[in-house]
Homo-oligomer: A and B are copies of this chain.
Amino acid sequence: MQGRAKTTRRFLLEAAAQLFDERGYAGTSISDISALSGRTSGAIYFHYTSKEKLALAVVEEHFATWPELVGRHRAAGVPALERLVALSLTVARAFRDDVVVRAGSRLWMERKAIDAPLPTPFVGWIETVTGLLEEAREDGSLAAGVVPEAAADGIVYAFFGLHTVSDALDGRERIEERLRGLWLLLLAALQAEPDPAALLDRVGLRSAAG
């Protein structure tokens, strides 16, 4: 794709994401996106064919955020559980601050109203978390009874639920504080020698007062 077309597509995608995030799929029309972006509806259809395709592009862009971000937390030398917590903090911030991530998440929740097959989340996250727990087993920091695959499921449920609850109750404003509370609970089960608060401080996930 040529540079200018790519820039226009990205510009339209972000305008659409802003509206999908605020109003949802059913509440957003191509003419709303036209009004916000200052481009004609014809231009939007030229780049994305339909509202379904545009929604699909937002969800795919949301999904495309993660591999690079997961890669950044592969740094050797840092214990695996710390990297897991740091990753969850980066993801929580992306959900709070990145309109494409937020819109993609909302569209996925509304997926049954969208006439386009959307990718399924969770599976990739469960694999990523399983891998980090296996590393924690190797570096000796995982509690004896923990089975990485099974615990990874639970962590992904909790993390996903955290986002939904935080979105519903405080518009994600308190997400870091809530994330800290969640890890205080989970790390008590995961760490071979439980000291959740110290680990959270090392990662920089501090309490609201801090």
Q: Which residues of A contact B (CB under 8 A)?
A: 23-27, 106, 109-110, 112-113, 120-123, 143, 145-146, 150-151, 153-162, 164-165, 168-169, 178, 181-182, 184-186, 188-190, 194
Nearest CB on B from A51, distance (A): 12
Q: Give the docked Cα–Cα distance between A182 and B185 (Å).
A: 13
Nearest chain B residue, comparing its CB with the CB of A183: B154
Q: A26-B26, A112-B27, A188-B189 are contacts. A178–B161 as well, Cβ < 8 Å?
A: no
Query: Is A181 within 8 A of B165, CB to CB?
Result: no
Q: A27-B112, A122-B169 are contacts. A182–B153 as well, Cβ < 8 Å?
A: yes
The residues of B that contact A110 with a CB separation of less than 8 Å are: 24, 109-110, 112-113
The residues of B that contact A143 with a CB separation of less than 8 Å are: 188
Nearest chain B residue, comparing its CB with the CB of A24: B112
Query: Is A178 within 8 A of B165, CB to CB?
Result: no
Nearest chain B residue, comparing its CB with the CB of A143: B188
Nearest chain B residue, comparing its CB with the CB of A145: B188
Copies in the complex: 2
- 6 shortest interchain CB distances as A-B pairs: A161-B161, A157-B161, A158-B158, A189-B189, A160-B161, A188-B189
Q: Give the docked Cα–Cα distance between A12 and B181 (Å).
A: 43
A and B contact pairs by CB, cutoff 8 A, 14 listed: A24-B112, A24-B113, A26-B113, A121-B168, A122-B165, A146-B188, A150-B181, A154-B158, A154-B182, A154-B185, A157-B164, A160-B161, A185-B190, A186-B189
Which label, helix, strand, loop or mixed, suits the secondary structure of the A interface?
A: helix
Q: A159-B161, A160-B161, A189-B189 are contacts. A150–B184 as well, Cβ < 8 Å?
A: yes
Nearest chain B residue, comparing its CB with the CB of A26: B113
The residues of B that contact A154 with a CB separation of less than 8 Å are: 158, 181-182, 184-186
The residues of B that contact A194 with a CB separation of less than 8 Å are: 145
The residues of B that contact A165 with a CB separation of less than 8 Å are: 122, 153, 156-157, 160
